[in-house]
Chains A and B, each alone.
Chain A
Amino acid sequence: MRIQITFSKQGALRYTGHLDLHKLWERAARRAELPLAYSQGFHPQPKISMAAALPLGFSSRCEVLDMKLERDIPLEGLRDTLQATLPPGIQVLAIEQVDDHAPALQTRVVSAEYEVTLAEPVDGSELKRKVDSVMDAESILRTRRGKQYDLRPLIESLAVVSSAEGKAEKILMKLAAKEGATGRPEEVLDVLGIAFEETRIERTRLNFQS
């Protein structure tokens, strides 16, 4: 049986990285006594996979993982059972069964949406101008880890949320998240001249290919 779990990751758990999160779910599954399936071989690994790695420090309300079980179990009540064994900061939002032969989650993600909260609100109209110029640009060449790439095609949409007084409080982004073509919110913030440390970033949605 194969199940897909949607969960949020917040609070202290923002500082738990991708590999550690794998471990966390492996242990949670054991605590909940789920019949986890393992790979064959010398170092059997539990069959758990995640849709898209969440960068350290980000929170999320839309993480998705895929878990293979050795046998079928009733889904009823599973959400509560699992939730009871999870550390604070992880909330199970949904559990569903998926087809054993469905393609791997990682290959189905197409884009991700983020909500960036600014620690100190800035002038809304000025930020709006910058956002517009980013969206109007043909290309935005950047270098990351010694490699040059074009950020612009990875940005699907960008919007500013301002208060009634015209102060920009949040930025919403939708960025490409395909294998080999993933937009990073920090890169966009850098282009907008906003220091990463002055923000809180939450992933709000993962979009999948149907």
Chain B
Amino acid sequence: MLTPEQIERKLDRILLKVQKPGRYVGGELNSIQKDWDSVQTRVALVFPDIYDIGVSNVGLKILYDQINQREDALAERAYAPWLDMEALMREHRIPLYALESKRPLACFDLIGFTLPYETLYTNTLNILDLAGIPVRSAERDESHPIIIAGGHSCMNPEPMHAFIDAFVIGEGEEVIHEIIDVVKKWKVESNNPLSTCHREDVLRELAKIQGVYVPRFYETTYLDDGTVARIEPIAADVPKVITKRIVAKLPPPPTKFIVPNVDIVHNRVSVEIMRGCTRGCRFCHAGMITRPVRERSVDEVLQAAEEALKNTGFEELALLSLSSSDYTHVLELVTKVGEKFGGTHLKVSLPSLRIESVSIDLMERLKDRRSGGFTLAPEAATERMRRIINKFIPDEDIINTTREIYRRGWTTIKLYFMIGHPSETLEDVQAIADLCKRVIAEGRKVIGWKAKLHAGVSTFVPKSQTPFQWVSCDTPEQIRAKQELLKRELYRDKNIKLSLTDAEDSFLEAWLSRGDRRMAEVIYSAWKKGSKFDAWQEGKKYDAWMEAFAEHGLDPLFYTHRQRRTDEVFPWEHITAAVRKNFLFQDFRMSLEGEIRVDCRLNCYACGILPTFAGLRRENPGEGWKCPDVKSPVNNKQSAVTSLPLVGD
């Protein structure tokens, strides 16, 4: 294996030939390089997209800190090299290396991938290959690092089961330490020449950790129609169902963010103000899988923001959550942030505000009027659709709020919509165009031709572990017809900017997000045929995917355009985000009836979170969680974990 010095020498000869070489050299402020020989366990954390996107990922940053705080372990980082760099690395035989020490990834004991979205799957294979590590889990031996992955897309890990040794289901802050402990013990033992401990044994130990899923210990059988018959453990000691991990209380937020020496996408400090969401929008994967809601205190957020800004000098502060307006003390937080950082040229962003005038007051308090537009997400434009997706905002609220936004000095409003919701018709899409026109017309009444509107219209992709996991996607023809309608209606107005997502991109995401184990071979073949950077125009190869499907006798439509039977066993049936399947099903049925379920912090709907995490809730009573308190001890704590309730029971 090449030494760091050899790698650096080779790099010096190629770096000036690539775009933005600063992506590949590390040396950033706040990066941590520990002495390699002073620790027992070395972890490489990988964000399998380019540096420009990966550096600011908060999830990876949390793990980087958690691991580096340990005396006995170190964590370094790696990202996907862009196409130009990859070509040169292959030509000059430079294996993928970690940015801190420039050591090849293959030297590490543990490699952790974060997979927030499905379009990173081919990149993950490519990175393993660039690192000289066998891409398939089954082909790795005792000399190779253990490959783990976590992140939102792992709520259905099956399409990647052949490549990842162990998945973390849910939140990683605590479980990463348990994983490191297991790997560390294995390494100590394997140094003993008499050791009989094999890779398989380590994986078996990992599978015993709550929230860790080791796919090789499970088997999936299929029915004749291609749907899943059963998913069963084939090893003793592994759980039948893997329940996600959560932390009872959010640990202190990271404040020593990496400050890159080259420009990246988000040059900012991010402080997570709360995790989880109680709104229950039926299309929203994040909202369903990150329950329960846990909030940080205003003081904790303020202190972290201040410290992080001092540590980084960044020009922007992002207060992150799925729904800022729902943060209990949002007014207090925003007032204090405004007081503290007003007049310092700091840009503050507060995403996901509710469509109501209070949101304008909040933004005004941030004294951030000039930067960019005001963003709102109605998602749908007819009452029928809004009931179906469980995001009910009357037109009048949208019109009144947007008018007020223009009146108070913003010239650009961004409205986010989604097309392709279940049972959506062209009339529902026409209503999106009409609503946009009404908004801009109102804007013109207030501020004249300065008023601008940006309509971002994405395509709905049904995700696992949500009430819409049963539904079929729109066909490409339907999506195109809907997009054409919007273009026709909105392109005439110069002050309305319309952006649409590419229909092919949505399908790729769609078959991966609800795929089964057989998809692994399709991913492998698509990658072999050159598909990578699937979220990028320059990388993705739709034809390669189509050929890959054909090669394995599978039909993409089976995964995308098929209404699931109500009694269907899903490929992810053995993985749970602790929201019960029959709760999701009931919610799906309510959507068909146009029935709304309002915010669950007002009224608990018993989604399944509380019985699963009753113990944690009891130990952490009060304001931090937004689920009701649990007082009496629950006798059968494990019930929701071990027996998955069947639909309709």
Enumerate chain A interface residues (CB-CB to B < 8 A): 11-13, 15-17, 19-20, 23-24, 26-31, 33, 38, 42, 44, 56-57, 85-89, 196-197, 200
Contact = CB atoms under 8 A, between A and B. Distances in A.
Interface in B1-36: 12-13, 15-16, 21-22, 24-29
B345 interface: yes
Given A15-B25, A20-B263, A56-B16, A30 B370 contact: no
B221 interface: no
A24 B261 contact: yes
Given A24-B261, A86-B29, A57 B16 contact: yes
A62 to B, nearest CB: 19
Contact of B21 (A15, A26, A38, A200): A15
Contact of A87 (B13, B27, B310, B311): B27
9 contacts: A15-B22, A23-B263, A23-B267, A27-B313, A27-B314, A87-B27, A87-B28, A196-B16, A200-B12
Contacts of B24: 15
Nearest to A88: B27
Given A20-B22, A38-B345, A87-B28, A26 B263 contact: no
A30 B24 CA distance: 26
A85 B313 CA distance: 9
Interface in B355-403: 370
Contact of A12 (B25, B309, B310): B25
B164 interface: no
Contacts of B314: 27
A89 B16 CA distance: 18
B16 A26 contact: no
A196 B27 CA distance: 24
B259 interface: yes
B312 interface: yes
Contacts of A27: 259, 312-315
Instruction: Report the 7 A-B pairs with minimum CB-CB distance, sorted nearest first.
Output: A12-B27, A27-B313, A30-B313, A12-B25, A87-B29, A31-B313, A15-B21
Nearest to B25: A12
B368 to A, nearest CB: 13
B262 interface: yes
B16 A12 contact: no
B370 A42 contact: yes
A17 B262 contact: yes
Contacts of A85: 29, 313
A16 B261 contact: yes
A12 B312 CA distance: 18
B120 to A, nearest CB: 25
A88 B259 CA distance: 12
Contacts of B370: 42
Interface of B: 12-13, 15-16, 21-22, 24-29, 259, 261-263, 267, 309-315, 345, 370
Contacts of A44: 345
A196 B17 CA distance: 11
Contacts of A89: 27
A87 B259 contact: yes
Contacts of A17: 22, 262
A28 B313 contact: yes
Given A12-B27, A13-B261, A16-B22, 19 more contacts: A12-B261, A13-B27, A15-B22, A15-B25, A15-B262, A19-B263, A20-B262, A23-B263, A26-B315, A29-B313, A31-B310, A56-B16, A56-B21, A57-B15, A87-B27, A87-B28, A87-B259, A197-B13, A197-B16
A68 to B, nearest CB: 14
Contacts of A200: 12
Contacts of A26: 313, 315
Contacts of A30: 309, 313
A13 B21 CA distance: 10
A68 B25 CA distance: 31
A11 B11 CA distance: 12
Contacts of B261: 12-13, 15-16, 20, 24, 87
B98 to A, nearest CB: 14
Nearest to B27: A12
B15 A15 contact: yes
Query: Which of A12, A23, A29, A44: most chain B Cβ within 10 A?
Result: A12
A132 B385 CA distance: 81
Contacts of B311: 31
A26 to B, nearest CB: 7
A85 B26 CA distance: 17
B277 to A, nearest CB: 33
A90 to B, nearest CB: 9
Contacts of B267: 23
Contacts of B263: 19-20, 23
A188 B581 CA distance: 71
Nearest to A89: B27
Contacts of A11: 27
B608 to A, nearest CB: 45
A11 B15 CA distance: 13
Contacts of B26: 12
A57 B22 CA distance: 10
Nearest to A87: B29
A38 B343 CA distance: 12
Contacts of A56: 16, 21
Contacts of B13: 197
B464 to A, nearest CB: 40
A196 B16 CA distance: 10
A31 B197 CA distance: 50
Nearest to B259: A27
B28 to A, nearest CB: 6
B321 to A, nearest CB: 26
A56 B259 CA distance: 19
A52 to B, nearest CB: 19
A20 B28 CA distance: 13
B265 to A, nearest CB: 14
B522 to A, nearest CB: 38
Nearest to B267: A23
A53 B638 CA distance: 65
A57 B24 CA distance: 13
Contacts of A196: 16
Contacts of A42: 370
Query: Which of B25, B267, B309: most chain A Cβ within 10 A?
Result: B25
A50 B25 CA distance: 24
Nearest to B344: A30
Query: Which of B15, B311, B313: most chain A Cβ within 10 A?
Result: B313
Contacts of B15: 15, 57
B136 to A, nearest CB: 34
B350 to A, nearest CB: 21
A24 B22 CA distance: 13
Nearest to B99: A12
